[in-house]
Every structure is written in structure tokens, then in C-alpha cells.
Amino acid sequence: MATISLYSIGVEKLRGVGPLMAGKLHKLGLLSVQDLLFHLPLRYIDRTKITAIGGVQPLTEVVIEGEVRASDIVFGRRRSLVCRVQDHSGLITLRFFHFNQAQQQSLQPGTTVRCFGEVRRGKSGLEMYHPEYQLLNQAQPPALAETLTPIYPVTEGITQQRIRDLCGQALKQLERHSIKDWLPAELSSHHSNYSLVEALNLLHNPPPGTALNLLAEGEHPAQQRLASEELVAHHLSLLRLRQKIQRQAAPSLKPNQAAAERFLEQLPFTLTAAQQRVASEISTDINQPIPMLRLVQGDVGSGKTVVAALAAVQAIANGMQAALMAPTEILAEQHRVNFATWLAPLGIRIAWLTGKLKGKAREVQLAAIADGSAQIVIGTHALFQDGVVFHNLGLTIIDEQHRFGVHQRLALRKKGAVIDADTEGSTPHQLIMTATPIPRTLAMSAYADLDCSVIDELPPGRKPIETVVLNELRRNDVIQRVRASCQDGRQAYWVCTLIEESDVLEAQAAEATAQELQLLLSELSIGLIHGRLKPKEKVQIMQAFKAGEINLLVATTVIEVGVDVPNASLMIIENAERLGLSQLHQLRGRVGRGSQSSHCVLLYSAPLSGNGAARLKIMRETNDGFKIAEKDLEIRGPGEVLGTRQTGDMQLRIADLQRDAHMLPEVKRIAIKLLHDYPDNVDPLVIRWLGHSEQYGQA
């Protein structure tokens, strides 16, 4: 058998593929015959057997045959062609809303038809809407399909019939040229069921009798065989990225005991054991001459920021700059205030850079960053814009990393070229922080290029937040609760949410709520903050709230992260059923930051969906961010939990991070073994599954 690579045979070599079709296939990432082989069906339909009309069930797709007994145009809310079809076992109705005269004439009583479609309940019993159909010649009826019919991912201009034909041609090429299995048999237990060729043939053309339920769930052994290989390819991509980065030089930032002690002594609190452990891990990493790649997870209020500040002190003590990037101006401002409080006594100078900073003020900050007089730079995505030049960036800190696209993280890392002759061209160390706990399965797969640390301990004196779930009808009771809390000297948040993702509509809703509450709670000072305010106005309002000048802050979800007001002990979230678990947990974390008891009230509008009820139930039951993250993964799936910007191009074709989590330890073992013992197999395996899109992990 020839050993020609199917990766080297372009799709334009296939029958019926001209430049126009090739362009459409390229949009789907299909450049070669190998790409078509791994372009796997989304689902299957069974056209291999005829179902008796009397035996069909609603919400199933079936093939039926029968005689047209009646055919009429019916005028209701919509004009439709209605045909009654009968076989020996029963009657069914075919309904066409879009039809022409030729169709009407062909479907006359006495005609025999074979139809395929989904069965639904209708006015006249069971119906099929716009089924595919064939007129039958009783002497020579056409043959039924011999295999289950695959439904593929397609794009505009490519029909299912065309993609089936092209995948069929690819399978013919597979018969002639075979395909290399890049996973040596001794590495994988998943080889025992199907060879690679057997798995591909079955998934493109499942024979009659193949368990449709297993295929639908992705649990057929042939799917699992390919899923394990796909996960290995993704894992290899991240491990290889890690190798590539760690082959680069990084400044060795030596621990400076005196600087660390000066920093810790002037803090108004003592680090927890968990903070000390994670700080030690970071200190050890940045002492190495290879780039640190560390993710620090910690629940809301666990004290990640002070650990990051301690790392920045170590970088600055070695004559290097540190940069901290936050996703919103409110969070960046919060960091600036905290870092100024902690670092000013040490004589450390801070620069501040956001997209809204203009003119002379911006020029002053850019100059301080470029000449090194600014030792730590705090800001938003403005930090990685072209005009920003660092003097000698040694450490980058990314907060709430899931809110940044991976390319933004990569851009900040690339700012690390330094002018010192000893460290020319070095890469800065990178510390990534998140208060959104990442389930272990996602951390193992999406962050395989990072070392992970967890701050799993809250500062002493923090009390768990009590959460109650109330119907919107109890709104007046909640307003009285706000009054009592504020009159007792505490402060409260009232968060407004909308289904529509619109700054304008959210701002209007928040304004209306603030006006209503001001009428009902006229004795209180009520503030309003939303995304439409200017950054300076947001900062002023937050400062007034923090100073106690505002009793009740009405806000949109703009206050989700970065707001730290210890005296705020009550959080009201309207329409809580509309928010995801991660966002609810982040919002709730704005209270409970002092020593007094704190409460969160989740207001919902009935009726609740199943997922909405599940989210509110888990919020009521636990404050543990990791338990909430696991439940979030269960409800929403990995793409939603990580966010599309974070997953980047990590679009899994057949594997599912949640369903296939049991494979991940084995996947990790195989990937490491391949890198060490079979390095020549790595590139072809990654290209097979990721093409040239593996850059998603390069940040």
C-alpha cells in the first residue's frame, strides 16, 4: 500500500472541487483529504429501515411509506398543502407551508410516497412538516440507505449531500493510502477497541444496528478512540508551547528578604498560611532564569492581590519593572489604590495607564514607563498597545484572566524585551490570577501550559455569607431589610440585571431602580453606578461609597469584580435567575469582606427554568467557589465556563471536556511520554487535530 500522506493531498484534487468550492471548504478548515477524514458528523439519522405509520412516535425522525389518500390546500393562519398518507397500520399528515403547483399535482390521491422527517403532534394527530419525499414506482422502489446518514458541520454554499460525497471520496483515498497512527499502541489503552482506520470508517458510515444512543452521547467506542487522540493533541500543543516559552531566557529575580519584610511589616494584616505557601511558590519560580507561567486561583476575598504585590516587590528589588493588567477600569483603579497604600511607604513609584487617559497626562505616564522611573505599571488592556514601551519588564500580572482574549495576554508578554545587556530579549515572568475557580478538569486541559496554585483559605475573621432566594413578589420586604441594615450603620448593594446585553438599557434600568428606591428610602443616601458613566465618575462614586457617604449603591454588574468595601454587608441581586453561577458568585463576593455577618438576597421572577432553579439552589447551599465552579461546568459546559475568548481556537471536534474528564490523567501521561520518547510523532498529531490553529494557547 502506498505511503503517500493524506495531509499532502489538497481538497482541490477531489472530484467536483473547483476554486470556489475549495474556498468554501477552507472556511471550514478543510484543506486536505486528511482534514475531511477528521471532519466528523455532528449527529446521525436512520434511513436504513421503513417504520410502520402506526408505530411512529412524536419527536423521532423516521422513514415511512404509504399511499396518498387525500391532498388539499387548507387556509388557516397560513396557507398550506395538507396530504393524508396511509399504510396498512395507520394514517399520518404531511404539511407543506411552502409548495408549488407541480408539488401539488404530484401528490395526488393514489400516489405512493416514501417520506423522511421528524414526527410531531398536530391538529390532526401525528404530522410531518416539510418532509423529504420520493414518489415511488411500485415495480422498482429505490433501495434504502445501507448505513446511518451522517449530518456534518457545514457552511453557506456547502450542502449535506456535497460534504457527504467529499467525505466519501476521502474514505476511498484512505483505502488506497491508509493513514499513520501517531499514538504507539503501547501508550494507549484505547487502542484495544478500534484501530484508527476502523474508527474513521464507522463514524462516517455507521452500519445499521449501530447504537444511535451511544453515538448521540459521544460514548461509542469509536468516538472515544478518536476523542482520546484529540485530547492528547491539544495537551501536546500546550506542553510544547510551555517548552517553547521555557527555552527562552527570563530575568532571575533573586529573593530579597529585607524588601519582603519591609512590605509585610507595614501591612495591617498577616498573610494566611495559604498566601504564604503560594507566595513562596511564586518567589521560587521567578528566581529561575526561565519564564514563570503560574495560575493563581483563589476564591473571592482570599487575598490574591497582596500575593501578587509581594511578587512585584521582588521584581522591583532586582531593578526590574512589574505590570498589572486588569479587565475593567474599576478593578484597575482598585488595584492602584491598594498598591499605592502598600508600596508608597517603600518608595515604589506607580504608573497608571488606561484607554481613557489622554493628552499630556498620558505622555507623562508613557515617559515614566519607558525610562524606568515607574517601577510598577497598573492599567487595563491599554498596557499592551503599540505606543507603550517598557524599560525592563520582568513580571506581568494578569488579573481575572478569563476576561482577556489569549492574544491580549500574549501581547503583554511580548512587551518584555529589555535594554539591559545581560538580559537582552528575555521574556518576563507571568503570573495569572483568577477569582473564578476553574474546575480541575478544565485546569488540566485548558491550562496544561501553566503551573497552578490555589489560595484555599480565607483571612481570619471572615464570616460566610448567608444567601436567601426570594420571589420578586417579596420585593417590599427586601426594601425594608435594606432600610434596617443601613440605619444600623451598614451599607448595601442593589444590583440590576437585564437579559439584553445593552449598556444603554442596563443603565436605564439601574436609573429607574435608583429613582424608585430613593422615593421609598428617602432617608438614605443612594448612589448609582453603571457602564455608561465616565471612568472618573465611576471612581468618584466608588470612593464616596467606600468612605461611607453613600448608604445604598445601585449598580449594574459593572461592580462584579474589584470592589472592596468592608462595611458593605448586604447584597441584593434582581433577576438573579438570569445570571450564570460564576457571575452570581463574583457579585456575592462584594460583601463579606469585613468581620460582621453578611447577607445576599437573590430575587427571582417566576416561573424558573430548570437551570435557573439549579443555579439558585447551589448559591443558597454553598459559598465554596470550587463547588460552584464544578456545578457551573455541569450546567453550562466547558466552552461557556471558560468563555469563548479564553478557549480561543480550542474547538474540540469530538472530545468533550466534561464527558471525557475520566480520560485526562491518561491523556496527560500519553502526551508527556510522546514528547520524551516519540518526538517525531508530535507535530503530525497536533496538525491532524488542530491544523495550524494551535496559537490559541500562546498566552
What residue type is assigned to position 313 of the chain?
V
What is the reported pLDDT for 175? 87
The sign of the torsion formed by the CA atoms of 102, 108, 110, 112 equals positive
pLDDT tens-place string over residues 92-101: 999 998 888 8
> What confidence category does residue 188 fall into, taking pLDDT thresholds of 50, 70 and 90?
low
Report how far apart, in Å, the C-alpha atoms of 546 and of each of 83, 540, 542, 587, 681 are.
71, 10, 6, 16, 58
> What confidence category does residue 423 fall into, taking pLDDT thresholds of 50, 70 and 90?
very low
Q: How far apart are CA 564 and CA 300, in angstroms?
A: 10
Average pLDDT over residues 581-605: 86
> What confidence category does residue 410 fall into, taking pLDDT thresholds of 50, 70 and 90?
low
pLDDT tens-place string over residues 437-484: 676 666 666 666 778 888 888 777 777 899 999 999 999 999 999 999
pLDDT over threshold 90, residue 324:
yes
What is the reported pLDDT for 313? 96
Greater pLDDT, 212 or 115: 115
Give backbone dihedrals phi and psi of 468, rounded to 5 degrees, phi first.
-125, 150
What average pLDDT does the chain have? 84
Return the number of other C-beta atoms located less than 10 Å from residue 80's C-beta: 17
> What confidence category does residue 342 fall into, taking pLDDT thresholds of 50, 70 and 90?
very high
The DSSP annotation for 396-458 comes to EEEESGGGS-HHHHHHHHGGG----GGGTTPPPEEEEEESSPPPHHHHHHHTTTSEEEEE--P
pLDDT tens-place string over residues 109-166: 999 999 998 899 988 889 999 888 888 877 777 888 888 889 998 888 888 889 999 9
pTM for this structure?
Answer: 0.68
Choice among 153-157, 448-452, 610-614, 647-651 with the minimum mean pLDDT:
647-651
pLDDT tens-place string over residues 530-546: 878 887 788 788 889 98
How many CA within 13 A on the CB side of residue 367? 6
Task: Sketch out the chain's domains with CATH numbers.
Answer: 6-44+162-210 (no CATH), 53-135 (2.40.50.140), 257-455 (3.40.50.300), 466-622 (3.40.50.300)
Query: What's the length of the chain?
Result: 699
Residue from 165, 107, 159, 98 nearest 133 by CA: 107
Greater pLDDT, 227 or 646: 227
Choice among 41-55, 235-249, 579-593, 629-643 with the minimum mean pLDDT:
629-643
The DSSP annotation for 589-642 comes to TTS--SSS--EEEEEE-SSPPHHHHHHHHHHHH---HHHHHHHHHHHH-HHHHH
Ramachandran area for residue 124 (φ above 0: left; ψ -120 to 50: alpha; else beta): alpha
pLDDT tens-place string over residues 652-667: 788 887 788 788 888 8
Average pLDDT over residues 38-57: 90
Q: How far apart are CA 444 and CA 208, in angstroms?
A: 37
What residue type is assigned to position 428 of the chain?
P
Pairing state between β 125-129 and 149-151: unpaired
Percent of residues, the chain, with pLDDT higher than 90: 37
Q: If DSSP codes are grouped into helix, strand and coil, which group holds residue 544?
A: helix
Which residues have C-beta within 8 Å of that of residue 457, sequence separation ≥ 6? 272, 273, 274, 275, 302
What is the reported pLDDT for 211? 84
Q: DSSP state, 383?
A: G
Q: How far apart are CA 616 and CA 635, in angstroms?
A: 12
Average pLDDT over residues 552-559: 84
Which residues have C-beta within 8 Å of that of residue 67, sequence separation ≥ 6? 85, 86, 87, 110, 111, 112, 113
In the sheet where 451-455 sits, what is the strand order?
A: 350-353, 376-379, 321-325, 393-399, 429-434, 293-298, 451-455
